[in-house]
Chains A and B, each alone.
Chain A
Amino acid sequence: MTTELLIENVSLDFPLYHGNARSLKKTVLNSVSGRMANDSRARVSVQALRDISFHLKAGDRLGLVGGNGAGKTTLLRILAGIYEPQSGHLRIEGSLNALLDPNLGMNLELSGRENITLRGLYHGLNPAEIRKLADDVAAFADLGDFLDLPVRIYSSGMVVRLGFALATAIRPQVLLMDEWFLAGDANFLEKARARLEDMVRGAEILVLSTHMPSVIHEWCSRVIWLDHGRIRADGRPDAVMAEYLNAPRG
């Protein structure tokens, strides 16, 4: 089976629940009393994505650009299968790893080793492979004896190293990455960069969300510009980036 990623006509409304929308009493009262029916559906929802379609084949490196709130992270979460689309279709052939937030669901109360074991079990690894994973992560993150202490007491640098080492230890065919993993070059150790580059090169498909033109030029062979949840431009990096960078901000 060849690796591919296909997303067709996907739209998503992001419901915001706050105040009364969370209350069962209000919802029930509103649905039984006609007088209040007018504001019963006053749920706020954000049009997060509209009619997103694209097709990636092995070898494609897609960059997502767009301002804050353009829908980049939401789109990555849809591709990762975390949010299910309300309309449209998504198909991904190939193993998938999504690097979306620094902690990646780590439990801060558990020790580093326990978090590694959980991740290994999630990926269906056997005990020998989990040991190998733990050795690899421990060696890279350079945690020493801290590996058996709760992540809560780690310094922030150690948490980042652990999260990064864990996220980059298992090699996927399709890699989804939020800009966090590339941001702040200054903080990035040289070996972290080498490891990440190794992983990105190993992945057959890359989808990367970023604010930084330099990252796009270095990594991507195609760029999609998201604006208010819609695809505003889609094409070669130099063409799309020229348009994106020259667009008036607002």
Chain B
Amino acid sequence: MSAHIPFPASQARLELTSQPGFAARSALAWQDLAEAATMWHLCCTLSWLDIKLRYRGSVLGPFWLTLSTALMIGSMGFLYAELFGMDLHDYLPFLALSIVLWNFIGALVSDACVCFTSAEGTIRSVRMPYALFAGRVVLRNLLVLAHNVVVIVVVDVLLQVAPGQIALLAIPAFILWLLLGVALSVLLGALCARFRDIPPIVGSVMQMAFFVSAVIWRPEQLKSQEYLLAFNPFFTLLEIVRGPLLGTVPSMQVYLSAGLFSAAIFVASWLVFARVRGRIAFWI
């Protein structure tokens, strides 16, 4: 009367040895990543269901995201073009791209903080690679971004602007973003599970970053102080994707700053993940 469904061979063995030492822990962290990669199908389904759940029962479904982004960009576009004394034809495509990309970063970072705590029930009842939850955060936000990209395309088509071939430079930068997203989810997810006062700190840092990182104003508006922006990692990371999509090649300083900051995140994330991976189940 039962289905007698066999287990896959990959789950036929479990070996855990408590080994002090960073090398052994790194090996376990690496194994975690590799296991998560083999479960990509589950990860995609979880991300898709997250989106579906959020909009279950609403007529427009995930396109509420598109609509609210469009409304925000429309209203802000007219207001700030007037305030900054800029040409709307010039400013609107810039704003649409900036807002959509920044919303992606902002939502990714705030989701990263609850990467593990929101999956408490699952983590406590079955063994799963922790990196899977990080992948889920990134994929879920990628799906949201895909809905919002519609706004950029509509604005660009209406105003007849096109970035040209330089836009291809944004592709490797965007792949870097996705990898950074996984690293940040693991890092912030673990830290926020342990210290519950970190999410509000992260929230206020991101809010501040929104205003100082040339999201709604143009870098040129800083005039002689523009060089200072290269020291703002939020700006440089945004610019390596946004610049090419607006048809400009970011400067070497921008790439250098974004690269150094990314490297720092990857290193910090690896150190934290290898160190505390086995403890996360106790913290959530």
Chain A residues within 8 Å of B, Cβ to Cβ: 1, 14-15, 17, 22-25, 27, 77, 80-96, 98, 100-101, 103-107, 109-110, 114, 117-118, 121-125, 129, 132-133, 135-136, 140, 168-173, 191, 194-195, 198-199
Contact = CB atoms under 8 A, between A and B. Distances in A.
Contacts of B7: 95, 123, 170-173
Interface string B117-153: 0000111111110000000000000000000000000
B18 A82 contact: no
In this complex, which of B53, B122, B127 has the most chain A Cβ atoms within 10 angstroms of its Cβ? B127
B281 A171 contact: no
Given A132-B3, A171-B6, A81 B197 contact: no
A105 B122 contact: yes
Nearest to B278: A84
B63 to A, nearest CB: 20
Contact of B282 (A14, A191, A199): A14
B160 interface: no
Contact of A23 (B11, B121, B196): B196
Interface in B1-27: 1-8, 10-18
B3 A104 contact: no
B13 A93 contact: yes
Contact of A118 (B12, B45, B196): B45
Contacts of B14: 81, 90-92, 96
Given A90-B17, A100-B125, 12 more contacts: A1-B13, A81-B16, A82-B281, A101-B124, A104-B126, A105-B125, A105-B126, A118-B49, A121-B39, A124-B8, A124-B38, A133-B5
A94 B16 contact: no
Interface residues of B, number: 44
A15 B194 CA distance: 11
Contacts of A172: 7
Contacts of B223: none
25 contacts: A23-B197, A24-B197, A81-B16, A81-B127, A82-B124, A84-B16, A84-B281, A89-B18, A90-B16, A93-B12, A95-B7, A95-B11, A96-B14, A103-B125, A105-B122, A105-B124, A110-B49, A122-B39, A123-B11, A124-B8, A168-B2, A171-B5, A194-B1, A195-B1, A198-B2
Given A89-B17, A95-B12, A103-B125, A22 B195 contact: yes
Contact of B197 (A25, A92, A109): A25
B46 interface: yes
A80 B41 CA distance: 23
B264 interface: no
B161 interface: no
A116 to B, nearest CB: 11
A121 B282 contact: no
Interface in B238-284: 278, 281-283
A203 to B, nearest CB: 11
A169 B11 contact: no
A132 B57 CA distance: 28
Contacts of A103: 121, 125
A5 to B, nearest CB: 9
A87 B125 contact: no
B266 to A, nearest CB: 22
B166 interface: no
A110 B196 contact: no
B3 A136 contact: yes
A12 to B, nearest CB: 9
Given A87-B18, A96-B14, A125 B5 contact: yes
Contacts of B1: 140, 191, 194-195, 198
B191 to A, nearest CB: 8
B45 A121 contact: yes
B42 interface: yes
Contact of B283 (A17, A114, A140, A173): A17
A21 B68 CA distance: 40
Nearest to A191: B1
B79 interface: no
B198 interface: yes
A83 B128 CA distance: 11
B194 to A, nearest CB: 8
Contacts of B11: 95-96, 123-124
Contact of A199 (B2, B12, B124, B125): B2
Interface in B42-89: 42, 45-46, 49, 53, 56
A122 B6 contact: no
Given A82-B125, A136-B3, A171-B6, A121 B42 contact: yes
Contacts of B10: 124
